[in-house]
Amino acid sequence: MKTLLIQFLVIVAVSISLPATAQDVHFSQMQYSPMLLNPGLAGASGPLQGIVNYRSQWNSIASPYKTINASVDGRFNEGKRTKKGIIAGGINFFNDQVGDLKVTTNNVNLNLAYHLILDRRQTLGIGIYGGFTQRSLSGDEGRWGSQYDGTSYDETMSSGEAFSSPNFSFIDAGTGLVYTYKKNEGYMTQNNQRSVNAGVAFYHVNTPSYSFINKEDEKLPLRWSIFANAVIGFQNSNGALLPGFYFNRQKSNMEILYGTYYRFTLAEGSRVTGRNKPFFFALGLFHRWGDALVAKSMLEYGPVSGGFAYDINISSLTEVSRAQGGFEVFLRYNMSPRVGGSRSMIR
């Protein structure tokens, strides 16, 4: 009985808070949803990149929260060999459905970025985005505190809830800065690669109206994001570390995610012909502060890579969630040409 009561109260609290508290969608594999991490990442990884993400969470508490995201980004002046900077663009779409109320968000963003080439190993980029978001909910599907009679939930009782705007849309905008450093291997067998990406971004700088109840009083808060990730090859071995740190703050909501992959080289690519593709396998463990441990795995074969992540809940919801947070997958195609058998960030 105690567990059932706790579960009911969690469902009620989540259902009530979601329409009222604005929080952006996010993935545990943040590096592989780049347009949601920093607009300046458009064109930073290669001439053309496409990624699809899927996430499902909280299956053990209420209706699953499901998010689908897809992005394509690329460079407009890739063929120009004497360029001083990289002009790039991208498009990102996501569909997010939350909880028993079926709070649905559809978003499309267009990105534009410019990466100034500082030298053969470094770039400094700035990106902006503009987008359109549509939100809707089904209020009849909700369970409300007013329908709890002190003993049990009674769906026949009136909720007393009224939504003035069960379906609305808004325009959104933001910007970001990205620094990139890339040092390639001198030889394939050396495995002495070093690369760093770091940046800061600001989403919803226009703070659009964002409420199903009173659109004039509630604005979508600014979200600011800081990230840094790297590749550190261990010389003359087949191993490399891929550490990452990600910080997001949106009003009272804060997220800190940090950890690392360890990547194994299963097969080296052809140095000259490119006929044989490099093959990598990576395992990772990350920690989302105050919430979950995230186990990750990833395969990369030539331009194609895919990954899986699972959140192991360690927060105060563990009694109800039974440590089941959520799982997600991604599939990525990165058309990145090779220089001397290894990827060059600046071409």
Domains of the chain by start residue, with CATH = 2-343 (2.40.160.40)
pLDDT band at 33 (very low <50, low <70, confident <90, very high): very high
pLDDT for 134 equals: 94
pLDDT band at 341 (very low <50, low <70, confident <90, very high): very low
* Strands in the chain per DSSP E: 48-57, 65-75, 85-98, 103-119, 122-136, 167-183, 194-203, 223-233, 239-250, 253-267, 279-288, 292-301, 304-313, 324-335, 338-339, 342-343
Least confident of 5-14, 85-94, 223-232: 5-14
pLDDT band at 222 (very low <50, low <70, confident <90, very high): very high
Q: Give this prediction's pTM.
A: 0.81
Cα–Cα separations (whole angstroms), residue 91 to 95, 168, 337: 14, 22, 22
> Is the pLDDT reported for residue 51 higher than 90?
yes
pLDDT band at 168 (very low <50, low <70, confident <90, very high): confident
Residues 6+ apart with CB under 8 A from 236: 189, 190, 191
Average pLDDT over residues 203-209: 93
Classify 77 as helix, strand or coil: coil
Query: If you compute the radius of gyration of the chain from its CA atoms, what whole number of angstroms results?
Result: 22
> Is the pLDDT reported for residue 112 higher than 90?
yes
C-alpha–C-alpha distance, residues 269 and 35, integer Å:
29
Average pLDDT over residues 303-321: 79
Q: Report the range out of 5-9, 152-156, 253-257, 268-272 with the highest average pLDDT.
A: 253-257
> Is the pLDDT reported for residue 6 higher than 50?
no
pLDDT band at 65 (very low <50, low <70, confident <90, very high): confident
C-alpha–C-alpha distance, residues 30 and 33, integer Å:
5
pLDDT band at 40 (very low <50, low <70, confident <90, very high): very high
C-alpha–C-alpha distance, residues 11 and 60, integer Å:
11
* Amino acid in position 299: L
pLDDT for 163 equals: 54
pLDDT digits over 113-128, tens only?
999 999 989 999 999 9
Average pLDDT over residues 296-314: 94
pLDDT for 339 equals: 37
Angle at Cα 309 formed by Cα 133 and Cα 53, nearest 5°?
30
> Is the pLDDT reported for residue 319 higher than 90?
no
